[in-house]
Amino acid sequence: MRIDIVTLFPEMFEGFLTGSLLGDAREAGILDVRPRNLRDFATGRHRQVDDRPFGGGPGMLLMPGPVVACVEAVQSDPSAAAPGRVILLTPGGRPLDQALVEELAAEPRLVLVCGRYEGFDARIRETLGAEEISIGDYVLSGGEPAAMVVIDAVARLVPGVLGDERSARDDSFSGAERLVEGPQYTRPREFRGLEVPEVLTSGDHRRIARWRREQAAEATRRRGSDAEPRGATSQPDTRQTERSMP
C-alpha cells in the first residue's frame, strides 16, 4: 500500500514513521509512506501557501494553487500504480470509524492532505475530487495528528503489518458485532491484592470463552451500546445536532 502525505510539517512524521509497527512494515516493503512538503509548491518571493478568507473572518486558508500542484505532482509519480484516493483532513469531514478504516485499508493508494490554519479554500476539494475526513468532534491546530491516526488505524489492517492477523480481527469495533473488549489480564496473578479472575487460569476454554463474551457484552452496555459515544443511551442527548465545527 502506498500513502502520500501533503503537509507543511513533514518532520512531524519522522518519529511516527520509524516507530516499531510502521517502521517494520516500511522496511519489509509492505507499506510505502511518503511525506511531501507543501512549501515546495509555494510560489512567489514569500513562498506563500495561505491567505485571508474573502468576505472576512478569522485565520488563514490554504490557497488552492500550492495544494493542487503538490497533490498533482504526487499523483503523477510514475512509481505508483494508482492516482490514489485524495483525502483532506479537516474537522468538518466525515467522522472516522472502523468501517471507514476498513474501506481505506482496501485501497491501493491514499493521498492525505493535512490542513493548517482555518482550513482549505473550497476549490481544492472540488478540483481534486477529494473527500474530507475528521477524527472526532474537537479542533486540532492542524491535520497532521489526524493523518497519523488514519495511517495507524489503516496500516494495522494491511496484510502482513501486524505479526498476528487474529489480533486485528478480534479488536473492539471490528467485525459485525461492534462489541467493546472486556478486561484482560497478564502476569502477575496477584497485584496489590487484586487477583486475576479464577476462570482465566482454570484451563477450561469453553468457560473462558463464555466469560469473555459476557464481559464484552457488559463493557459494551456500560459504554453505551453499539459503539455510540459514552453515555449516549443513559442520558438525554443535549449535544448539538448540527456540526458546529469549522
Return the beta strands (E) in 96-234 as ranges.
Answer: 109-114, 119-120, 131-134, 190-191, 194-195
* Residue 115 binding ligand 6GU, by CB under 6 A: yes
Among 138, 198, 236, 241, binds ligand 6GU (CB under 6 A): 138
Q: Is 229 in the site for ligand 6GU (CB under 6 A)?
A: no
Q: Which is catalytic among the residues 132, 171, 181, 218?
A: 171
Using CB under 6 A as the binding rule, whether residue 7 contacts ligand 6GU is answered as no
| End-to-end Cα separation, the chain, in angstroms | 31
Residue closer to ligand 6GU by CB (options 94, 213) is 94
Q: Which of 61, 107, 111 is nearest to 88 (CA)?
A: 111
C-alpha distance from residue 78 to each of 81, 85, 123 (Å): 7, 16, 26
Number of amino acids touching ligand 6GU (CB under 6 A): 13
Q: Which one among 10, 66, 84, 143 touches ligand 6GU, defined by CB under 6 A?
A: 143
Contact 148, 16 (CB under 8 A): yes
Site for ligand 6GU in 154-213 (CB under 6 A): none
Stretch that binds ligand 6GU, among 83-91, 169-177, 195-203, 207-215 (CB under 6 A): 83-91
Among 82, 106, 139, 209, binds ligand 6GU (CB under 6 A): 139
Q: Is 146 in the site for ligand 6GU (CB under 6 A)?
A: yes
Sole binder of ligand 6GU in the list 23, 64, 83, 142 (CB under 6 A): 142
Burial of 171 (0-12, 13-18, 19+ CB in 10 A): middle
Active site (annotated) includes residue 118: yes
Interface with ligand 6GU (CB under 6 A), residue from 7, 134, 215, 220: 134
Closer to ligand 6GU at the Cβ: 2 or 116? 116
Our answer to whether residue 137 is catalytic in this structure is no
Q: How far apart are CA 71 and CA 243, in angstroms?
A: 28
Q: Are 110 and 4 spatial neighbours (Cβ–Cβ below 8 Å)? A: yes
The upper half-sphere exposure of residue 84, i.e. CA atoms within 13 Å in the direction of its Cβ, equals: 27
